[in-house]
Amino acid sequence: MTKVLVLYYSAWGHIEQMAYAAAEGAREAGAEVVVKRVPELVPAEVAAKAHYKTDQKAPIATIEELPEYDAIIFGTPTRYGNMTAQMKNFLDQTGAHWASGALVGKVGSVFSSSATQHGGQESTILTFHPVLLHLGFVIVGLPYSFQGQMGLEEVKGGSPYGASTIAGGDGSRHPSQIELDGARFQGKHVAQIAAKLAAK
Ligand SMILES: Cc1cc2nc3c(=O)[nH]c(=O)nc-3n(C[C@H](O)[C@H](O)[C@H](O)COP(=O)(O)O)c2cc1C
């Protein structure tokens, strides 16, 4: 059975919610799916003061387990147009996998979140991709067969690069149905492609 890891960082829960939607989609495609987080780096008192969502049930992933999966779907909020330091710090510990080629040929895919509509959700995904390419991942996005990314009837995340959500300046906006559908579609799409690659 195809094994998919949804690996995320989320300070306030938006990406956490999108992660479970991506996982649902991958399960729909028949994959065995695990949702895990990368470790927090912000001191506990800073996180408490900023009202981080600290009750996240997903276990913390280890670097060692990454080669066990056929696909990894990464979820990260934007930090000044790029992935979070928490996610990058985790990826910066994959040197042994880079050296051995343990992740070469696996499927990698990214979804994101930003406070504002044009606050960097696309740049966060696109600047994530070089890391995946260095590690040898085959990148999968959110194709236009997810028709939800078309249309101007509402403000929404989602692009051919990957699913995304808009949290609002104060974090009060939650992922909309169409954004969660995008994450679900991406999860399913990744699992289907990973299954095809694994069959070869
Ligand atoms: C240090 C910092 C930098 C941020 N940079 C951006 C940014 O460049 N553009 C933007 O729209 N939102 C920015 N945000 C807002 C976060 O992206 C937003 O809170 C996040 O997407 C919510 O996802 P989460 O609930 O999963 O943490 C920033 C937040 C922090 C704390």
pLDDT tens-digit series, residues 138-164: 999 999 999 999 999 999 999 999 999
Q: Is 19 in the pocket of ligand 1 (CB under 6 A)?
A: no
Q: State the alpha helices, DSSP H only, in the chain.
A: 14-28, 44-49, 85-91, 95-100, 121-135, 177-199
What is the reported pLDDT for 81? 98
For 5-19, what is the mean pLDDT? 98
Is ligand 1 within 6 A of the CB of residue 87?
Answer: no
Is 10 within any annotated ligand binding site? Answer: yes
Residue 78 labelled as part of a binding site: yes
User: Between the CA of residue 15 and those of 31, 36, 78, 144, what are the distances in Å?
Assistant: 21, 12, 10, 22
What tens digit of pLDDT does each residue of 37-58 get? Answer: 999 999 999 999 999 999 999 9
15 is in an annotated binding site: yes
Name the CATH code of domain 3-199 (choices 3.40.50.1860, 3.40.50.300, 3.40.50.360, 3.30.43.10). 3.40.50.360
Could you tell me if the CB of 116 is within 6 A of ligand 1? yes
Residue boundaries of the structural domains of the chain? 3-199
How far is 19 from 110, CA to CA, in rounded Å? 10
Smallest CA separation from ligand 1 atom 1, residue = 79
Per-residue pLDDT, averaged over 117-133, amounts to 98
Q: Which residue out of 78, 172, 173 has the highest number of ligand 1 atoms within 8 Å of its CB and is therefore the one to mutate?
A: 78
pLDDT digits (tens, 9 = 90+) for 166-185: 999 999 999 999 999 999 99
Any residues with CB less than 8 A from the CB of 77 and at least 6 apart, and which? 9, 10, 11, 12, 14, 15, 84, 112, 113, 114, 124, 167
- Degrees, nearest 5: CA angle 124-33-168: 35
Q: What are the pLDDT digits (tens) for 80-119?
A: 999 999 999 999 999 999 999 999 999 999 999 999 999 9
- Alpha carbon distance 169, 68 (integer Å): 38
**For 178-195, what is the mean pLDDT?**
98
Residue nearest ligand 1's atom 2 by CA:
79
From residue 32, alpha-carbon distances to 70, 97, 117, 135, 198 in Å are: 10, 22, 33, 23, 13
> In degrees, to the nearest 5, what angle opens at C-alpha 35 toward C-alphas 106 and 28?
75
Q: Which atom of ligand 1 is nearest to the CA of 16?
A: 26
Say yes or no: CB of residue 165 within 6 Å of ligand 1.
Answer: no
Is 134 flagged in the annotation as binding? Answer: yes
Is the CB–ligand 1 distance for residue 171 below 6 Å?
Answer: yes
